[in-house]
Structure formats: structure tokens, C-alpha cells
Amino acid sequence: MPVWALYTIVVLIWGSSWYGIEQQLGVVAPQVSLSYRFLLSAVILIGFCAVTRRSLRFPKPAVLLMAVQGLCLFCGNYILFYFAGAHLVSGLLAVCFSTMSMMNILNLALFFRQKIDRRAFVAALIGLTGLCLVFYPELASSGLGSEPALGLGLSLLATYLASLGNMVSVRLKALEIPVIQSNTIGMSFGALFCVGFALAAGASFNYDPRPAYIVSLIGLALFATVIGFGCYLHLVQRIGAARAAYTSVMFPIVALTLSTFLEGYRWSPLAGLGFALVMSGNLLVLWRPREKKPDAAAIPQTPIS
């Protein structure tokens, strides 16, 4: 599948999945809803691997990495996002998640010693300034101890965990572990971690019979998790974590549009300016100018012998 198609699928699926997360809140504890979601996703992937005869046997070091990926990418970050969803509309969750493009570049420098250029540093400042402006109207009206502030903190922590999961995916590529198998094993670990967290928290494994809950659960498990993560991690392994994170720049556009019409989100001038700065920071950190082709006249000519 071409890169542009993978980008489009990820943006449309994940950009709208934030609203699905909001529909999961209320009756069932977040960690229990996640247990249902990732257990269902893991079963789908295991069945797919069985039908297509893909082996799930890998060396222990690789399995350990997939377990870490499951903890970061298919458990911890989502638990934090589900709790944050109780304090923020889905569109603002997506705005927070868009900062992963900058976090990926920082983590690539930290774990893989990739150089951070000056443009990335400036972009990070622009993006963080924009994030502050997006949340300023709500924080100013309700104080630093408010629900929006808690939602913001949880969302940023969740985003950083997701970025760490991306770093594990980069490492798995170096070990030549196929995406489908790594997703299957990582998601299985993530589901088990979610169940363990729910049991440790004393959560009840009840169920919400509302159609909105059932439809969102199936949609999140099949589309946002199985298909969305499959396409995204293929992007990470084909074009790198930094460039793949460009998809997160587009999520807020889809998510905030849905929040405006479905959740009654009201734009303020500061929020609009902040949103523009967040998008600008992300675009700046990911943009790479085209290299100029050398002038043919300036190229030394090698005589033909």
C-alpha cells in the first residue's frame, strides 16, 4: 500500500476515534473498557495470523520488547487518555496528542542519538505556546486545580508513553520483526496489562448495553486498533517515527470538527490562535526542504577513457 494511502487511513480513523473514546465513558470503568477493546483486537489479530500462517514465535529479547510496546502503546497511554476524556472534549485530546511529533524527535535523540536541529527546538516552543493558548480560556475560568488542567496533564503524559511505544517499534524494525506479528503480541500483552490494572484497581467488569457503547467498542477495536495501528506502525517502519508522526498533526482537524458539531465545543480567538500555533509547530518540526540539484555546469566532468 502506498504511503499516502496509509497516511489517509490513519488520519481519518484516528482523527474520529477520539469521539469514540468519549462514548466509552460513564458506566464502565476506563481500564475495563480498554480490557474489552484490546482483548477483542488481540483475538482478531491472533485469528488473522493463524489463518495466514504467520508465526508468533520470536526470541525472548524481542518478545520482551513487544511486552514493553504493549505496556506503553496498548495500555498505559490509553488508560491515561480515557481518564483524561472525563475532563476534556475529544478534540482537545487530539490536540494534545499532536505534540507526539515533537516528542518523537526528542526521544529519537535520547535513545538513538539522532541530532536535534535548531528548527526542531523552535518548533517545540511554538507548539507548546500554542497548546497553552488552546487551554488558557478554560484554565483561566476555572483555575489551575481545574478539570481541564488535570485532563491536559494526563493527556501529555499519555502522549509521551505513546512516543516511547514508537521508539520500541523503531527498535523492532532493526530486529526485522514484522509489524503484524509485533502488533499481535504487543496487543495481547497490552490487553493482559489492562486486565491486571483493572483487577488491581478493584474495578467491576460490568457492561454498558447502550448502542453507542457497543458500536464504539467494536469500531475502536477493529478500525482504530487493528487497522489504525497496523497502518501507523507500517508508516513508522517505512518512513521513520518522526515523519510518521505527521499524521498526528491532522488528527485535531478531524477531531475538533467533530467536537464542534457533536460535543458543543466553542472556539475562542485564543483557542483558534493556539490551534494554529500547534499545527505550525508540528509542520515546522517535520518539514524538510528539498535538496537543490547541483548545477550540471558545476559538476566536474570525468573524461572518458
Which residues have C-beta within 8 Å of that of residue 5, sequence separation ≥ 6?
A: none
pLDDT at 294: 46
Give dist(CA 121, CA 141) in Å, integer.
31
Which residues have C-beta within 8 Å of that of residue 274, sequence separation ≥ 6?
A: 129, 130, 131, 132, 133, 134, 135, 136
**Residuewise pLDDT in 10s, the chain (305 residues):** 788 788 788 888 887 887 888 888 889 998 899 999 999 999 999 999 999 999 999 999 999 999 999 999 999 998 998 888 878 776 677 778 878 877 888 898 899 888 876 776 777 678 777 767 776 776 666 554 567 778 888 999 999 999 999 899 889 988 989 988 998 999 999 999 999 999 999 999 999 999 999 999 999 999 988 898 888 888 877 877 667 766 776 777 777 777 777 767 777 788 788 878 877 876 776 566 655 544 444 433 333 33
Q: Residue holding cell 559538476?
A: 299
Residue 92 Cα distances to 23, 135, 151, 178, 252, angstroms: 15, 8, 9, 33, 7
- Chain CA centroid to CA 76, Å: 12
Give dist(CA 27, CA 217) in Å, integer.
13
Q: Is the whole-model pTM more than 0.85?
A: no
Asked whether the beta carbons of 79 and 197 are under 8 A apart, the reply is yes
Residue 70 Cα distances to 13, 73, 122, 200, 220, angstroms: 20, 5, 32, 18, 17
- Is residue 26 left, alpha or beta, with left meaning phi > 0 and alpha meaning psi from -120 to 50? left
Dig out the grid coordinates for 267 from the structure. Answer: 472556539
pLDDT at 296: 42
Q: Residue holding cell 502488533?
A: 183
pLDDT at 120: 66
Residue type, 112: F
Dig out the grid coordinates for 156 from the structure. Answer: 501529555
pLDDT at 117: 67
Which residues have C-beta within 8 Å of that of residue 180, sequence separation ≥ 6?
A: 45, 48, 49, 54, 230
Give dist(CA 302, CA 305) in Å, integer.
9
